[in-house]
Amino acid sequence: MSRDYTGTVPVSSGGSVSHDSIEFDPFSDTFFDDPYETYARLRDEAPVYFNEKYGFYALSRHADVVAAHGDPVRFVSSYGITLELLLQKQPMHTNMMIVMDPPEHTRQRKLVSQAFSRNAIGSLEPLIAEVIAGYLDQLSGRKEFDLVAEFAALFPVEVISTILGVPAGERQQVRLWVDTFLHREEGNPNTTQEGMEASLNMAGYFLDLARLKRREPDGLLISKLTEAVLVDDDGREQHLSDEDVAAFSVLIAGAGSETVTKLIGSGVVLFDQYPDQWALVQADKAAIPHAVEEALRMHPPSQYQGRFAMSAVEFDGGTIPAQSPVILLTGSATRDPRVYDGPDTFDITRGGRTTLAFGYGVHGCLGAWLARLESNLAFEGIRERWPRYEVQRDGLRRVNMSNVAGYSHVPVVAP
């Protein structure tokens, strides 16, 4: 049995649906608060949706989203992965791996994966557990606290920055840069001036750090990236430049700061809304990984990924023309009833892995295993310390970001 959350979080005006049309506006300030009714209509009535106002297409069915992710030749990433960039219809010239296409992307991914594989840094699990426990211990004994602002927003960047080799005392600054860059002002889908400055400051910081680690290696991730070597088919060694190392560090620091924070916030709210599922976790800690997968399915932190159609591509519901911005709606695909029974119900016994929440295909997230590990350990800690808690619904606050959805504040009362 779930609790009634009607009225707790405002329903999107941008996602309002009329009888004769579907209004889908991902630039709306509140759309990602509750887009799921709109997603359902897109899947059923306009699976290949065209937005006349902005000039983009959207795929909402699970099969179509998977197919587009699996076709990096016709659906490229080099025009940007957020809608505001895609609408410019200009290729980006950058060494940021997430907006590269094969074969350049393939080469760089092979290099960075040497340093960021599960085997390479999997031994850091005790460190991760210690960081998480330290933040949770600071809340122990309190009856009221904010599980996002005072916990989930703080520890993920501490973890990823520690792994990267960012010095203690400078790690939370990374989170502040990322939050500022991703923040959007009401009525403006573009990065703010403060966001651009934060992006430049963060890039400069990691470039300086890459140069330092190349001179003074410490065995941590940035240091390992400077040492990565790939031998090509002609027997020549390839290395990552300092700029490449810095770009990947910015990417992984940003993703590591945001994804887990949003996942845990959504999970805490879902467990409060579905106390029977929290009871399953209380009865058996082994249920936590399944709960993490289900929270990812219900509320993917990244609601869409952008691609640019280089040639015309036909789907069951229509054709996307060449030279078109396209967004792949992860948040819709993971609730597609063609794939999931009872897709709008939080059911941690569902089983299986949520394959789309961390991207898919050639751009599947290298840090997905780390995000899952952090989330599992976080919910283990919450379970041990607070067998019962209640979310203070009036205090729930969501972020206003580009394609990232989730809570900035989840206040709870624990008896």
Q: Given the structure tokens 């819709």, which residue do they identify? A: 332
pLDDT of residue 310: 97
Adjacent-strand bridge partners of 357: 359
Q: What does the domain layout of the chain look like in residue ranges?
A: 84-301+360-413
Q: For the chain, first and last CA: distance in Å?
A: 21
313 vs 179: which has the higher pLDDT: 313
Contact, 119 vs 224, CB < 8 A? no
Q: Sheet harboring 48-51: ordered strands across?
A: 48-51, 56-59, 324-328, 305-309, 75-76
Is the omega angle on the peptide bond into residue 103 within 30 degrees of 0, that is, cis? yes
Q: Mean pLDDT, the chain, as a whole number? A: 88
What percent of the chain stands above pLDDT 90? 58
Sign of CA dihedral 27, 28, 32, 37: negative
Whole-model pTM over 0.75: yes
In 3D space, the residue among 263, 290, 386 whose CA is nearest the CA of residue 347 turns out to be 290
- The reply to whether CATH 1.10.630.10 applies to domain 84-301+360-413 is yes
Angle among Cα 256, 286, 142 to the nearest 5 degrees reads 65
pLDDT tens profile 213-249: 999 999 888 998 898 887 777 777 888 899 999 988 9
For residues 350-363, average pLDDT:
88
Sign of CA dihedral 250, 255, 260, 263: positive
pLDDT tens profile 51-94: 999 999 999 999 999 999 999 999 999 999 989 899 999 999 88
Res 4 pLDDT > 70: no
